[in-house]
Structure 1
Amino acid sequence: MSESLKNGSVFEGTPPLISLKGVSKNFRKSGRDVTVVDDCNLDIAENEFLVIVGPTGSGKSTLLKLIAGFEVPTAGEIRVGGDIIKGPGADRGMIFQEYALLPWRNVLKNVELGLEFKGAENEGEKKDLAMKYIDMVGLSAAENKYPVELSGGMKRRASLAMILVTKPKILLMDGPFNALDSKTKMTLHTEITRIWEHEHNTVIFVTSELDEAVKLSDRIAVMNKAGRISKIFRNDLPRPRLGKAALDHDFHNRFIQLREEVLNEVKAGAGRAVCEY
């Protein structure tokens, strides 16, 4: 189920939407340069669901921020649709581990915030579009609630709606379901898969949970402690992968096999420590 790093796209014959060539990122720490991401080469196809895993300190979140344009590569280049990334853009929406909700605005007004940043002025149109995505993430009964009144899972849903309403082509998700209980997490796995299939986003998803990686991905990229992509696994498990499908004996065995292959690569990469960041 693994593939060569030279195999550019998960879809044969399709040019990549995102292309990383020789991307490295150094930070100055304690008077010396620390390499966090080192010589990463990766092509990502349009509408692909790519999951990035790796040990703590392997540069997963930094790589996501580089694609988002929040960080600038020390070396190499990142292109989206053939254009070099020079900073954040409306084509890329990022969801962080922390909640991004404003406590003085209810769910509806928080979701409308992205439209306000884009210059939308018509109140009726703003509300209609915001409600579309509030409904999509299953929060229609909570549109008038404030963040303090929401559970952790509801806050995640509201944060997701805030990004989706701006209609980004690329959705960047940095551990978005961390610290949630297993039932809420399973529900959100179903929701994000449904939204991805409906909206046709390209998703790049960082996680430390291998079950989550196998459930969601088209491919899994493993980063090691040297800040490099050590291996890419193609996930050929049939969709849907949740609910009754997961009870199939053959599906279960293939799921476990892929998870073990990825786990072995993560363990190997954890032993190649160059730096901690």
Structure 2
Amino acid sequence: MIEVNDVRKVFGTAVAVDGVSFEVSEGESFAVVGESGSGKTTVARMLLGLETPTSGTIAVCGRVRTAGRPSGAERRRRAREIQIVFQDPYSSLDRLQKIGDVISTSLSLHFPLTGAELRSRTLELLESVGLAERHASMVPAQLSGGQRQRVAIARAIAVEPRVLVLDEAVAALDVSIQAQILNLLADLRERTGMSYVFISHDLAVVNQISDTAIVMHQGRVVERGRTADLLREPEEDYTKALLAAVPRPGWKPSRRSS
């Protein structure tokens, strides 16, 4: 689904990403782990085309992303390939737009649906993320943080992307709501076969959601492998420090049983 080959990104004189390479397979959940400033969010933005690599190549669904402003048709094509859910759903939602309209607008851009079909599919998507019909007539301010993030996920999956990037998508939520969203994401991936690229600094979250991972530090990949192995027996001092910093006394890596 994704091939990143020796990608470098420089802002002025600052090197944000330096020689990063990785692949994400169909149906795989892949994590990019690191502290703030490690370059992980810049990687996410390049995957979406929000930033252009200084050098190296990125291919999504077998197509190399080229520099330059894409046409409207190309933007829609890319939207069907890859979508993103940001950390703060409130800032990414129109505060005056009703929740049902958030979803239906996304649908109408990509599918030729009648009015009845559009409403039916909108309600179906809200239900798929654990929201009810009554939420369709609400605005973001009337929802909790967890509910807003569910709306953001519903909007992202409405176009049926093959890859979903989640940039610190549960970082702003409390632990109990985090667990609900992570379980929702696990269920969605099982049902749809989507690939995930999960950007996070939280190793407990990464352990819950990902199959494989890379660890980034100062723009470079310092360790990679199966997530469970990285957390059980990290080789690099930086990964060990991240693991030691998990703010949960007595926490030990353990995956949710399937």
TM-score by length of 2: 0.83
The residue aligned with 2:40 is 60
Give the deviation of 1:264 after TM superposition.
4.4
Give the deviation of 1:265 after TM superposition.
3.5
Give the deviation of 1:92 after TM superposition.
0.7
The residue aligned with 1:11 is none
Higher helix share: 2
- Among 92, 96, 116, which residue is 2:86 paired with? 96
Segments of 5+ residues of structure 2 without an aligned counterpart are 243-258
- Among 223, 231, 239, which residue is 1:258 paired with? 231
Partner-residue secondary structure (3-state), 2:234:
helix
The residue aligned with 1:162 is 155
8 Å Cα contact 2:161/2:194 also seen in 1? yes
- Among 186, 192, 195, which residue is 1:202 paired with? 195
The residue aligned with 1:23 is 7
8 Å Cα contact 2:88/2:172 also seen in 1? no
> Kindly tell me: are residues 262 and 117 of structure 1, through their superposed partners in 2, closer, same or farther at Cα, counting changes over 3 Å?
farther
> Kindly tell me: are residues 108 and 74 of structure 1, through their superposed partners in 2, closer, same or farther at Cα, counting changes over 3 Å?
same
The residue aligned with 1:80 is 60
> Kindly tell me: are residues 174 and 133 of structure 1, through their superposed partners in 2, closer, same or farther at Cα, counting changes over 3 Å?
same
Counterpart amino acid of 1:102?
A: D
> Kindly tell me: are residues 234 and 184 of structure 1, through their superposed partners in 2, closer, same or farther at Cα, counting changes over 3 Å?
same
8 Å Cα contact 1:94/1:163 also seen in 2? yes
Give the deviation of 1:116 after TM superposition.
2.8
Counterpart amino acid of 1:266?
A: T
> Kindly tell me: are residues 113 and 25 of structure 1, through their superposed partners in 2, closer, same or farther at Cα, counting changes over 3 Å?
same
The CA distance in 1 between the partners of 2:233 and 2:98, in whole Å, is 43
8 Å Cα contact 1:55/1:266 also seen in 2? no
Matched, 1:219 2:212: yes
Give the deviation of 1:229 after TM superposition.
1.2
The CA distance in 1 between the partners of 2:135 and 2:173, in whole Å, is 19
Question: 1:38-65: CA deviations, max 9, x gaps?
Answer: 0111111111100111122110000011
Counterpart amino acid of 2:117?
A: E
8 Å Cα contact 2:107/2:159 also seen in 1? yes
The residue aligned with 1:129 is 121
Counterpart amino acid of 1:66?
A: M
Question: 1:188-225: CA deviations, max 9, x gaps?
Answer: 11111101111111100111111000111110110011
The residue aligned with 2:246 is none
The residue aligned with 1:50 is 30
Give the deviation of 1:268 after TM superposition.
6.3
> Kindly tell me: are residues 259 and 112 of structure 1, through their superposed partners in 2, closer, same or farther at Cα, counting changes over 3 Å?
farther
> Kindly tell me: are residues 133 and 52 of structure 1, through their superposed partners in 2, closer, same or farther at Cα, counting changes over 3 Å?
same
Give the deviation of 1:258 after TM superposition.
2.0
Partner-residue secondary structure (3-state), 1:261:
coil
Larger mean CA deviation between 119-128 and 56-65 belongs to 119-128
Counterpart amino acid of 1:64?
A: A
Identity %: 26
8 Å Cα contact 2:223/2:239 also seen in 1? no
The residue aligned with 1:240 is none
Matched, 1:148 2:121: no
Question: 1:127-176: CA deviations, max 9, x gaps?
Answer: 12221210010011422211110000000000110111111111011001
Matched, 1:185 2:175: no
Give the deviation of 1:70 after TM superposition.
1.1
8 Å Cα contact 1:210/1:259 also seen in 2? no
Give the deviation of 1:82 after TM superposition.
2.6
